[in-house]
Amino acid sequence: MVPFQMVVLMDPMEDPDDILRANRSREKTYIFDVTFDYLANQEEVYRATTRGLIEGLISGYNATVFAYGPTGCGKTYTMLGTDKEPGIYVRTLNDLFRAIEETSDNMQYSVTMSYLEIYNEMIRDLLNPSSGIMELLMRGNKQRTQEPTAANQTSSRSHAVLQVGVKQQSRCLDVLQEVRFARLFMIDLAGSERATQNRGQRLKEGAHINRSLLALGNCINALSDKNGNKYVNYRDSKLTRLLKDSLGGNSRTVMIAHISPASSAFEESRNTLTYADRAKSIRTRVKKNLINVSYHIAQYTNIISDLRCEIQRLQKKIADQAGRQLHSDRADIRNVQGTTFLFLNSDSLLHH
C-alpha cells in the first residue's frame, strides 16, 4: 500500500536478473479512493468508507457497503468485527441512531432491520428477536453457515446481508405529508476459493458461492463497459438480484476489496483488484426517495390517533420539564427558607 490511495501488486515470480522476462512483469499499480494496510484499525476503516453515508440515509438516499475478496482476507472482520473491535455494522448503527436522536424533536423515524444469508442460492433469515444490537448481530452471525475450509478456519460459506430501512417524516402532521425512506445494505460476501482445495459439501458450496460471485463479476463487467450497452444480467443469482439497485441503480455504494499480502495469494489479489478497479467506473444514479402522501378521509382516523400520540408525547415532555422545574424551584425555596430561618434566628437573637 502506498499512502493513501495506491496499491502496487508486485509479481512474486519476477526476477530482476532474468532479461528474457524483463518486459513481462505482471507488476501493476491500482488507484482507489482510499487504501489501508495492516496497521489500519476498525474506526479508521469505518470513517473513511461508511460514515459519510449516514447523513444521506436519514434524508432518503439509499446506500450499500459490501466487502469483497478471497477467503480469509478479513471481510467478516471488517463488517462484523469482534466485541472489543466492532466492525462497520455496529459503528454504522450507533451513528445512525445518534443522528436520529439529534433530529428527533422535529422528525419522527421508523427503523427496520433484517439480517439474512444467501446459502447455496437459498435465502435464510438469521435473526431471532433479541436485545442488544451487537448481541443480535453476533447471534445472527453464529447462525450463519460457517465451516473450516482449506484456507480459513472460520470461513463464512454464505453471503450475509444486513438491511436497515429508515423512514422519516415530519412530526407536524398535515393533510399532505412528505415521507422519506431509504435502505442501507451492509453485505459480507462469502470468499471465493479454488474449488480443487475442498471436497464434498465444501466443494458444492464453493460452486454456489462462485456462481453468485461470478454473476456479481459479470454484472460489474457489464456495468463498467465503456460503451455502456452490455446487457446486465441481474437475474443470474440471488445475490445480484438483491444488489441490483446497489450496483447499477439508485444507491450510494461502497465496495471494500480485501486482499492478502502473501505472495502465494498473487492470483487472487490480482482478480480482486481487477474487479475493484472495474467497479470504480460504475456510475449509479442516486435520487432522494420521497413520496407525498395526501390522506384520504378514511385515513383521518389514523392521523387523529397519530396526533393524539403526538399530543401525549408533548404533554409528557411538558410535564417532565415542569416536574424538573418544580424540583429545582423547591430546591431554591428550601435554600431561601434556610436563609430566612437563619435570618429570623439572628433577628430574634438581636431582639433578645
For binding to ligand ATP (CB under 6 A), which residues are involved? 69, 71-77, 152, 154-156, 190-191, 258
For residue 259, the minimal CB distance to ligand ATP (Å) is: 10
Q: What are the phi and psi torsion angles at 76 (to 5°)?
A: -65, -35
The verdict on whether residue 72 carries a ligand-binding annotation is yes
For residue 254, the minimal CB distance to ligand ATP (Å) is: 17
Closest C-alpha among 221, 253, 206, 216 to residue 237: 216
For residue 154, the minimal CB distance to ligand ATP (Å) is: 5
Burial of 159-195, coded b for 16+ CB within 10 Å and e otherwise, reads bbbbbbebebbeeebeeeeeebbbbbbbbbbbbbbee
The verdict on whether residue 71 carries a ligand-binding annotation is yes
For residue 127, the minimal CB distance to ligand ATP (Å) is: 20
For residue 44, the minimal CB distance to ligand ATP (Å) is: 11
The verdict on whether residue 12 carries a ligand-binding annotation is no
Alpha helices by DSSP H, 129-168: 133-143
Nearer to ligand ATP, 202 or 238 (CB): 202
Nearer to ligand ATP, 186 or 190 (CB): 190
CB 135 within 8 A of CB 188: no
Nearer to ligand ATP, 91 or 258 (CB): 258
Nearer to ligand ATP, 73 or 182 (CB): 73
Q: How far apart are CA 264 and CA 255, in angstroms?
A: 24
Closest C-alpha among 260, 242, 264, 259 to residue 251: 242
Nearer to ligand ATP, 86 or 191 (CB): 191
The verdict on whether residue 70 carries a ligand-binding annotation is yes
The verdict on whether residue 60 carries a ligand-binding annotation is no
Q: Is the alpha carbon torsion for 35, 41, 44, 45 positive or negative?
A: positive
The verdict on whether residue 73 carries a ligand-binding annotation is yes
Give the residue numbers of the binding site. 69-76
Give the residue numbers of the binding site for ATP. 69-76
